[in-house]
Amino acid sequence: MTVLHLADAGEAADLAAFLSRLIHYDRAAAVRLQAHGTALAVFGRPPSFEVLAIRTARLAKPYENGLDVTLDVTVSAGELLDSVDESAATAAVPAAVTGPPWAGVLPPRGGWRQEPGLPAPDSVRAMVAAAVAEFRTRTQELAPELRTRSELDRIGREIWSRPVCAAGLPVRAAHAAQSLGFLRPGGHVASDESPLGLYSSGAWLRLRTPYGSIAVRKAGLGALDVSVR
């Protein structure tokens, strides 16, 4: 069995926390792992948000498995979580699973450019809080006979598709970042890290924080620059 050696116990704890949050939204969640050298990227898709969540982690030593020097596999998030040993800073890679459709379509590795106009972190968190409060109020005001799944979905789509900024990042992406622990205030941030950034590449937008990223497509699968791998 392949074992990933994470840089320290903190990296292992952060990975475990991310996996736990994904499983909270989908107990059968799968994640796609990509490792090259000392970098590990974990991709997941919480179903409630229609976004891709990306958590990176540092490895203590370059990934290697026989003659292979890269890892690219889709596995059960629950089985990966069960294998994380925080004190030893290790995680065993479970057996591969048949990946869900999203696992075959990932954001491009390069070509990202920063987009201007993203509000400050406190303002983004305030937008999310206001959207959550509005959804709760509007749905509670519905008459019982009108509180159908289709009506709740309609209200949700209206609220969560609103743009955070001129670049078109939807509020649901910021909500996903907060729900997955990427948009939390405080914590240690390296001096060369911006607390929040918005980037675009082809059909994709990526909200980057020191704790992880949220990627969302601006267009469908037919758009150019979508990386299928």
pLDDT (tens digit per residue) in 123-168: 999 999 999 999 999 999 999 999 999 999 999 999 999 999 999 9
**pLDDT interval class at 83 (50, 70, 90):** very high
pLDDT at position 219 is 57
Residue range 3-106 in CATH 3.40.50: no
- How crowded is residue 27: how many other Cβ atoms within 10 Å of its Cβ? 9
- Res 193 pLDDT > 60: no
The amino acid present at 184, given as its one-letter code, is: R
pLDDT at position 67 is 59
- Res 228 pLDDT > 60: no
- Res 68 pLDDT > 90: no
Structure tokens of 185? 């205030």
Domain assignments of the chain as residue spans, ordered by start: 3-106, 113-228
* Range with top average pLDDT, 98-102, 117-121, 184-188: 117-121
